[in-house]
A and B are shown apart, each in its own frame.
Chain A
Amino acid sequence: AQKVTQAQTEISVVEKEDVTLDCVYETRDTTYYLFWYKQPPSGELVFLIRRNSFDEQNEISGRYSWNFQKSTSSFNFTITASQVVDSAVYFCALSDPSGSARQLTFGSGTQLTVLP
């Protein structure tokens, strides 16, 4: 069975600090996709990034960066120089590659609060 663990339930930082959100996953599949979503206070789910299991290159997008390490089954998300607008719940998710069954398996989410 697939599982996604986000051990950090809540994180609070002061603006301009860097913060890393952890994501550890379990799957028996050799091909899979990993995702990060942001859920701001308004409630919608905002897609941030997708990674497939064959691409272990780290990715940077502005202040956001992602570290995918297959050896430790982790897909961590770092926000550099955090801003108040980054306050949200962040979800890590794992996709069933066959597409016919489980759709997405989500972690329980990390509530990030950035204080001014």
Chain B
Amino acid sequence: NAGVTQTPKFQVLKTGQSMTLQCAQDMNHEYMSWYRQDPGMGLRLIHYSVGAGITDQGEVPNGYNVSRSTTEDFPLRLLSAAPSQTSVYFCASRTPGPPYEQYFGPGTRLTVT
């Protein structure tokens, strides 16, 4: 049982490049989400999904796309990277009912130059 996995761990992009951050979980959780962490701002919700085929926007969705074709995978796409997207990205999945415990991946540190 690997929990929540994320790849890559580190990535450097040039402005305008695109990439996909991968996230997978093996706990059969319906709920998955992406957060970004910036200094002094805690973690902020980018997008979330309540099940395969269903996604919705969080607090800071601009510049990111998501899709959920399977229960296990929830990739985050940056279509045209910008320096403002330099951040640490965490994927999480959570239990469907109380206590709604979140399981976080190890994070991806992204730098956009």
**Chain A residues close to B by CB (< 8 Å):** 4, 6, 9, 33, 35, 43-45, 47, 50, 52, 91, 93, 95, 97, 99-109
Assess the A9–B40 pair: CB atoms within 8 A: yes
Which residues of chain B are near A102, meaning CB under 8 Å? 45, 58-59
Which residues of chain B are near A108, meaning CB under 8 Å? 40-42
Q: Chain B nearest CB: distance from A97 CB in Å?
A: 7
Question: Which 5 A-B residue pairings sit nearest by Cβ, starting from the closest?
Answer: A106-B42, A45-B104, A106-B43, A108-B42, A103-B33
Assess the B90–A109 pair: CB atoms within 8 A: no
**Tally of chain B residues near chain A (CB < 8 A):** 29
Which one, B42, B92, B96, contacts A103 given CB within 8 A? B92
Q: How many A-B residue contacts, CB cutoff 8 Å?
A: 66
Q: Chain A nearest CB: distance from B95 CB in Å?
A: 9
Q: What residue of chain A has the Cβ atom nearest to residue B96's Cβ?
A: A99
Which residues of chain A are near B33, meaning CB under 8 Å? 103
Assess the A103–B94 pair: CB atoms within 8 A: yes
Q: Mark B64-103, 1 if CB is under 8 A from A, else 0.
A: 0000000000000000000000001010101011111110
Contacts known (A50-B101, A52-B99); A91 close to B106, Cβ less than 8 A: no
A91 vs B56: C-alpha distance when bound (angstroms):
24
Apart from A91-B42, A102-B59, A103-B58, what are 14 other A-B pairs with CB-CB below 8 Å? A33-B98, A33-B100, A35-B102, A43-B106, A43-B107, A43-B109, A52-B99, A91-B43, A93-B43, A99-B94, A103-B92, A104-B35, A106-B42, A108-B41
A107 vs B104: C-alpha distance when bound (angstroms):
16
Q: Chain B nearest CB: distance from A65 CB in Å?
A: 20
Assess the A43–B88 pair: CB atoms within 8 A: yes
Q: What residue of chain B has the Cβ atom nearest to residue A106's Cβ?
A: B42
Which one, A6, A44, A50, A109, contacts B104 given CB within 8 A? A44
